[in-house]
Amino acid sequence: MADATAKVAASKKRKEPKVHKKQTPGMIILTVIFAIVSVFYVMPIFLVLMNSFKVNSAITDKGFFDFPNAETFNGLKSYIDGFMFGDYPIGYSILWSFLITITSVVLILICTSMCAWYIQRSNTLVCKIIYYLCIFSMVVPFQVVMATLSRTADVLKLNSPWTLMIVYLGFGAGLAVFMFSGFVKSIPIEIEEAADVDGAGPLRTFFQVVLPIMKPTFVSVAILETMWIWNDFLLPYKTLDIKSFKTIPIHIQYLNQGFGHQDTTVLMALIILSILPIIVFYFACQKYIIEGVVAGAVKG
């Protein structure tokens, strides 16, 4: 009996061999196709990075696709010159981009998460109308309203980096409310009822009970909105006083158009510097995107 027990215990301790799923020809073909597509997506970024280390004549005279060599390699000179290129310091553009992005994302997260929670818990006709208006705003192109928006921003004095977050709240609310609403449906209402019995008011219930549960979707919305606002060109261009305020995309576009002589390598260096923060931010938080989308994919 003791020997049998020992054999059973030993068999339990053995690690079962991992079963590797055999790839079918169809899976192999899809892997190859997606690998090729990925190369095409990454290639433009690689070309910009490669050309940012070359002298300007190497791009204009000898070709855009040539690798840098001992003759054409320029080191970090293009990156250093980029901070002094033009009559508007890029440091100010970086400052305004960070200010607009951070303030807009924070406002969008707070307002839309509370709005989505109220819409799902109230479930009135007015709330349903607000919800579908938010959904409708997702399909309206910015080009349709940009002329009216520019005029409205001037009249209401929303044409500065300190107030542009209000305009971004209007355009970013659709996606955020949609994602938050989907997640709120999965939160058991009994948790909120227990908080109400303990004497917590609506604000305390939201910030201390609901908001911590919404963390996956909260981070996902923050990532998506940050990527959009940081890279946005049209909305700041149509609303800001660009003589006084320029975001990074506007700054790069103006350098590309003016000053008579175009230094392509400096522009390439500035493009890399502009996308580097958002790439680092995305890779640091990318796991939350899938978690947030899956968490919000529930039936209402």
Confidence of residue 4 (pLDDT cuts 50, 70, 90): very low
Closest C-alpha to 252, from 99, 97, 142: 97
Residues pairing with 54 in the sheet: 73
pLDDT value for 20: 55
All structural domains of the chain with their residue ranges: 22-82, 90-296
Alpha carbon of residue 91 to chain centroid: 22
Checking 208-212 for CB contacts under 8 A at 24+ apart, the result is 210/117, 210/184, 211/113
Answer yes or no: is pLDDT of 5 > 50: no
Please check the confidence at residue 294 and state whether its pLDDT lies above 80: no
Q: Is the pLDDT of residue 262 over 70?
A: no
Given pLDDT bands bounded at 50, 70 and 90, which one contains residue 97?
A: very high
For 195-235, how does the pLDDT look when each residue is reduced to its tens digit (9 = 90+)?
Answer: 888 888 888 889 988 988 888 888 889 988 998 999 999 89
CATH of 90-296, one of 3.40.50.1820, 3.30.590.10, 1.10.3720.10, 3.30.565.10: 1.10.3720.10
Mean pLDDT of 256-262: 57
Strand partners, 73: 54
Kindly report, residue by residue over 128-143, the tens digit of the pLDDT. Answer: 999 999 888 888 888 8
pTM of the model: 0.80
Is residue 298 pLDDT above 80, yes or no? Answer: no
What is the rounded average pLDDT for all residues in the chain?
A: 81
Alpha-carbon distance of 233 to 222, in angstroms, equals 19
Q: Look at 20 and 43; give whichever has higher pLDDT.
A: 43
CB 169 within 8 A of CB 111: yes
Q: How far apart are CA 187 and CA 185, in angstroms?
A: 6
